[in-house]
Chains A and B, each alone.
Chain A
Amino acid sequence: MLASDMLVAQNVGFFIIAAAMVVGALRVVTTRNVVHAALWLVVVLSGAAAQYVLLAAEFVAITQIMVYIGAVMVLFLFGTMLTRAQIGAEDNLNNAKSWIFGVPVAVLMLATLVIALNDGFGNEKLPMDAPVVNTQQVSDQIFGPYLLPFWALSFVLLAAAIGAIVLARRD
């Protein structure tokens, strides 16, 4: 493959970010402190946002930051800090038996992803001058052809919100 066919800067960027994400993901499961694990998860999720930027999908990238880092991770940290987060390393965080189930599940996930991606896209390449999809087109798609799935998702979220309120109420 000729160098002129490749987006060199993008590829270098991809591998740097991917390496950071892999390190972060490993530290999430190996670290000895719940809050540290959550913070490493922040590294992984912001790495995903950076990858979306490399794919010129800025809307998805910003949504990733807003939803996962601004809301989900804050709730994670909020929950752990309210209940059990102690300073320094914890001893009983790792369950020795978890490897028996964890490793097969991880391998299965990886295999599913690889097969699905390979089956779906194979060696397909996007043309270099592929049109950039801007936010307006994304919203036109969501509120046009995909309106029904969007509504369905909204109802699921609404049901989850109402369920959470019902569970939390004492009376």
Chain B
Amino acid sequence: MLAALLSEIPYWGQSLLRVLGGLVAVLLPAGTVVYLFLFKMMSFMQSRLGPMEAGPYGSMQLFAEVGKWLQKEDIVPDAAAPEARIFKLAPLIVLASTFLLVVVVPFGPDALFTNFETGIFYALAVSSVSVLGILIAGWSSANKYSLLGGLRAAGQLVAYELPMVLAVVGVVIQAGTMNLQQIVVAQNTGSIFGFDGVGNPYVITQFVAFIVFMIAVQAELTQTPFDMPIAESELVSGYMTEYSGFRFLIFFIGEFATAGVFSMIASILFLGGWGVPFSWFGWTTIDSIDNWMNVGGPLILFTKMLVLVFFIMWIRFSFPRFREDQLQRFAWKGLIPIALANIMLTAVLKVAF
């Protein structure tokens, strides 16, 4: 198995491989999401072509954009000069939160960074660290639009973290574990009333939790209709207003990489993750899986991620923005009671069956 092969590599080599893997796991989804959805799908939905000049069908546009951002001057506003250190630190906190998030995502039977016992709990905890970066970005910009954007972002992210956690609880109860790898295995070895042709993806039994989770993800990513924090018609672009050059690029990468990573986590929780139903190939446990799944698994996960991001972007480009009070009411009076009812129902059914 791959694990035996890995143990022959010295520790520094393994660490290097993990760092490289983490970079790929964060940047590749971000790049794909930006090109496929932000550039192309958005353009097609608006009856235009989108970028066409750089490379075939504009596929090199992303490199051109990154090159452009890297050349720009790294400006700190005069009024923010006393807080220049914090101003520069803020986008890094947001990106660090994304990198910490990808650590627990399993990509295959052996293709994972760490097999964390409390994986999903860890993911929810570190995803909340990015709020800190957004808040201090808004404050240290010394600009009232930025500050308002940061405050709105914090209020929104804290409000929507709760339905997200509660939606995950349903899955955890059904799987009986918080380990993401074991949640994948539980779905692919499960069966629906004895029929194991498709395993038991929790999107069927936990459909309510899936919807609540995806809405909460939409809000956590501050995508329209939940983009009050960066509402360009009232706040310029919220907490990102004063950022230029590569610091803006870091915010930008962070936003879309987090979209990718959250979609991966959603597909692990609800769509069976990297796995295919084990009965298709006669596997019984995770140890009997063929080695090719370490290559196939990431591709399957990536495909599922693209499908989920497609829905996120579809909603983003279709709906108008919520008002601030509607947004809070939706979370506290709509999503949270639904998620709580789902937990109760799941717990009762878990005991009953």
Contacts and interface: CB of A to CB of B under 8 A. Distances in A.
Q: Sorted from nearest, which 3 A-B pairs have the closest CB atoms?
A: A70-B128, A88-B82, A66-B125
Interface of A: 35-36, 39, 42, 58-59, 62-63, 65-66, 69-71, 73-75, 77-78, 81-82, 85, 87-89, 134-135
21 contacts: A35-B136, A36-B86, A58-B118, A63-B125, A66-B128, A69-B129, A70-B161, A71-B128, A74-B132, A74-B135, A77-B132, A78-B135, A78-B151, A78-B154, A81-B135, A81-B151, A85-B139, A87-B140, A88-B82, A88-B83, A89-B82
The majority secondary structure among interface residues of chain A is helix
A59 B119 CA distance: 10
A74 B125 contact: no
B131 A70 contact: yes
B139 A135 contact: no
A39 B87 CA distance: 13
B129 A65 contact: yes
Interface of B: 79-80, 82-83, 86, 116-118, 121-122, 124-126, 128-129, 131-132, 135-136, 138-140, 142, 147, 150-151, 154-155, 158, 161, 178
Contact of A62 (B79, B125, B147, B161): B125
B125 A70 contact: yes
Given A35-B136, A81-B139, A81-B150, A59 B126 contact: no
A65 B139 CA distance: 22
B139 A77 contact: yes
Interface on chain B toward A: helix, strand, loop, or mixed SS?
A: helix
Contacts of B82: 87-89
**Which of A59, A63, A66, A73 counts the most chain B CB atoms within 10 A?**
A66
Contacts of A63: 125
Contacts of B126: 65
B136 A66 contact: no
Contacts of B79: 87
Contacts of A69: 128-129, 132
B320 to A, nearest CB: 27
Contacts of A85: 139
A157 to B, nearest CB: 14
Contacts of B116: 58
A77 B153 CA distance: 12
A82 B142 contact: no
Contacts of A88: 82-83
A35 B151 CA distance: 14
B137 to A, nearest CB: 11
A75 B126 CA distance: 16
Contacts of B158: 71, 74-75
A13 to B, nearest CB: 16
A75 B131 CA distance: 10
A62 B139 contact: no
Contacts of A42: 132
Contact of A73 (B132, B142, B178): B132
A59 B118 CA distance: 7
A85 B139 CA distance: 8
Nearest to A87: B142
Contacts of B155: 78
A69 B125 CA distance: 9
A56 B128 CA distance: 22
Contacts of B128: 65-66, 69-71, 74
A134 B117 CA distance: 8
B161 to A, nearest CB: 7
